[in-house]
Chain A
């Protein structure tokens, strides 16, 4: 009986989690998801807050590698107009430490370029 309840709980939890997590199938879908999440993070989230706090404004073009759990596996700063290297490093670190709420097939990773604009 207990086993059955536990099994039911696990199934329900999985259903809830999977219902919340985006499951993009292609590079384009993943890139769009990440682009929207970054735009939102700048507009109303932590990234915008950090930028205001440290006075960082301008653009940063980054090449991101996203792993199957939505983590930023690697980040390369292609270009940036953010004045001040410490500020640039902080923005870069913040993006590197982001975890996007998406699930890719196990072992899958996507690499694409994204430009972040900090007003």
Chain B
């Protein structure tokens, strides 16, 4: 009887879904520029901010809330020696924009106040400078500019160099401002800038920013890099009292006063075996192949993936650095993207989705025989096999159970309410992390969203992101609640009750998790779009047009 009663409601929902699904994102403001724009940007930070749209000769800056043009100028009006620019890099937090005029050994840079359009300073000193070797230190309103000869500390608004040091080589990566006003910095060589920093060695250093004095320096294991396209750091740096923790390829702990390494549980890992570098890739990276260490109280779980064929899970005491146990060998895992700890079990996700980012520059021949340089920025998610789950005892590291269910594929997983939730792609599972027993297995065929790629917790529901849509299931029993079908897309971001997916052509759909309805934006050919910091808006840059759309 119950079933019969549910049918009309279900039919009504199904009937209304297509109508909801066609809804387009509504515009907030639209602006037509005086010039075309192929260099564009949106302030990714919270609060009032700016957008810019520029060509190689002109630039327009507008208020991102209202679309009001704040200023629009030709570069030659800004600075006579900048007639045409090749690259433009905003440092949003500094309120400055760097303009680059590249002339083979005679590069000119101009630094402009983003809000007023006033030229702050110019320089022909910094050759081969790019976004990768400039770090803005917001606490001091200064830039650390890394050149081949030295690291220069430059006052942001004037261009004055207060100090230079040859002791710190390479680019400034993450830094940590300490209560005494000193800074702990980690260096790195961005992919593609290896030739600039010959003789590079890994350094973590305590620096007095007032004078540029390096109070101590030590080495670290691994590559403290950023994602090559999206720029996120792949490590963390934090302090606890007099201890500095570098969470890179494991954990490396230093004494803040002396720089002495107290202990280390870090293992050099190169993801070369996961996927090879694409042809003509100037910058390239594989991310998320090894899970970040997990801390539970004083316990620290770290993956040792030095050897490509044999991997181990290790447990350390976070205070003393003492190795408590090493798990049995985890053979032939090419990627271990997840560590999940619950009670007396630690579960490893073997295989699954791994991110790749590539900046490709290649020369293409036109039909008329001329050639042109084409640049491509490509973010892809690849499914790395073998896949599976293995659970270990947190007390002694012995293996307790493993599941063969996920041989053909696996999503990420999460533990909520003492249940481990995971997808094989075709079905959603809830498992007891203690025993590996399956509480339920729900096929996803009825969801009509193709294979699952990601799952997310959402209160008492599991959100399933599929290759062609989004669905929600009750977490307790796995029952389908809502689903919304969309074209082939991948997960981009989640903001509260909203999930954003995007297609290869940069079409976007914003799903409301309350009912899996969505609003969409179909990208015009050649147009670029960028999300606001909270996902509430999409800014579209299409030749001379700039458009702000509301995602929900």
Q: Is A32 in the interface zone, CB < 8 Å from B?
A: no
A74 neighbours in B (Cβ, 8 Å) = 163-167, 212-214
Q: Mark B208-229, 1 if CB is under 8 A from A, else 0.
A: 0011111000000000000000
Q: Which residue of A lies closest to B166 (CB)?
A: A73
A73 neighbours in B (Cβ, 8 Å) = 165-167
The distance in angstroms between the C-alpha atoms of A92 and B162, with both chains bound, is: 9
The distance in angstroms between the C-alpha atoms of A73 and B121, with both chains bound, is: 27
The distance in angstroms between the C-alpha atoms of A96 and B152, with both chains bound, is: 11
Q: Is A57 in the interface zone, CB < 8 Å from B?
A: no
Return the contact of B159 from the options A71, A75, A76, A89 (Cβ within 8 A). Answer: A89
Q: Which residue of A lies closest to B213 (CB)?
A: A74
Q: Which residue of A lies closest to B122 (CB)?
A: A86
Return the contact of A63 from the options B159, B167, B211 (Cβ within 8 A). Answer: B211
Interface of chain A, main secondary structure: strand
Q: Which residue of A lies closest to B149 (CB)?
A: A97
Whether the Cβ atoms of B213 and A85 lie closer than 8 Å is no
Q: Mark A38-73, 1 if CB is under 8 A from B, else 0.
A: 000000000000000000000000010100000111
A72 neighbours in B (Cβ, 8 Å) = 166
Whether the Cβ atoms of B164 and A92 lie closer than 8 Å is yes
Q: Mark A77-88, 1 if CB is under 8 A from B, else 0.
A: 100000001101
> Shortest CB–CB separation between residue A80 and chain B, in angstroms?
9
Q: Given A76-B211, A96-B150, check contact A71 B166 (CB 8 Å).
A: yes
A29 neighbours in B (Cβ, 8 Å) = none
Q: Is A93 in the interface zone, CB < 8 Å from B?
A: yes
B164 neighbours in A (Cβ, 8 Å) = 74-75, 92-93, 96
The distance in angstroms between the C-alpha atoms of A75 and B149, with both chains bound, is: 13
Q: Given A85-B121, A96-B150, check contact A77 B214 (CB 8 Å).
A: no
Q: Is B161 in the interface zone, CB < 8 Å from A?
A: yes
The distance in angstroms between the C-alpha atoms of A73 and B164, with both chains bound, is: 8
Q: Given A86-B123, A93-B125, A96-B150, check contact A76 B160 (CB 8 Å).
A: no
Q: Mark B133-165, 1 if CB is under 8 A from A, else 0.
A: 000000000000000011000000011111111
Q: Which residue of B lies closest to A97 (CB)?
A: B149
Whether the Cβ atoms of B150 and A88 lie closer than 8 Å is no
B214 neighbours in A (Cβ, 8 Å) = 74
> Shortest CB–CB separation between residue B165 and chain A, in angstroms?
4
The distance in angstroms between the C-alpha atoms of A89 and B167, with both chains bound, is: 19
The distance in angstroms between the C-alpha atoms of A71 and B149, with both chains bound, is: 12
Interface size on B, residues (CB 8 A): 20
Q: Given A74-B212, A74-B213, A74-B214, check contact A85 B165 (CB 8 Å).
A: no
The distance in angstroms between the C-alpha atoms of A71 and B167, with both chains bound, is: 11
Whether the Cβ atoms of A92 and B161 lie closer than 8 Å is yes
Within 8 A of A (CB), among B101-120: none
Whether the Cβ atoms of B212 and A89 lie closer than 8 Å is no
Return the contact of B212 from the options A76, A85, A88 (Cβ within 8 A). Answer: A76
Q: Which residue of A lies closest to B210 (CB)?
A: A76
The distance in angstroms between the C-alpha atoms of A105 and B125, with both chains bound, is: 34
The distance in angstroms between the C-alpha atoms of A77 and B163, with both chains bound, is: 6
Q: Given A73-B165, A76-B162, A77-B161, check contact A89 B125 (CB 8 Å).
A: yes
> Shortest CB–CB separation between residue B376 and chain A, in angstroms?
38
Whether the Cβ atoms of A76 and B166 lie closer than 8 Å is no
Q: Which of B149, B158, B166 has the most CB of A within 10 A?
A: B166
Q: Which of A71, A96, A111 has the most CB of B within 10 A?
A: A96
B211 neighbours in A (Cβ, 8 Å) = 63, 76
Within 8 A of B (CB), among A11-49: none
B125 neighbours in A (Cβ, 8 Å) = 89, 93
> Shortest CB–CB separation between residue A91 and chain B, in angstroms?
10
Q: Mark B293-313, 1 if CB is under 8 A from A, else 0.
A: 000000000000000000000
Whether the Cβ atoms of B163 and A75 lie closer than 8 Å is yes
B165 neighbours in A (Cβ, 8 Å) = 65, 73-75
Return the contact of B160 from the options A85, A93, A96 (Cβ within 8 A). Answer: A85
Whether the Cβ atoms of B161 and A89 lie closer than 8 Å is yes
Return the contact of B162 from the options A77, A96, A97, A111 (Cβ within 8 A). Answer: A77
Q: Which residue of B lies closest to A75 (CB)?
A: B164
9 contacts between A and B (CB under 8 A): A63-B211, A65-B213, A75-B164, A76-B162, A77-B162, A85-B159, A86-B121, A93-B161, A96-B150
4 interchain residue pairs of minimum CB distance: A74-B165, A76-B163, A76-B211, A85-B160
A residues in contact (CB < 8 Å) with B: 63, 65, 71-77, 85-86, 88-89, 92-93, 96-97, 111
A85-B121, A93-B125 known, 14 other contacts, Cβ within 8 Å: A63-B211, A65-B165, A73-B165, A74-B166, A75-B164, A75-B165, A75-B212, A76-B162, A77-B160, A86-B159, A88-B160, A89-B123, A89-B161, A92-B161
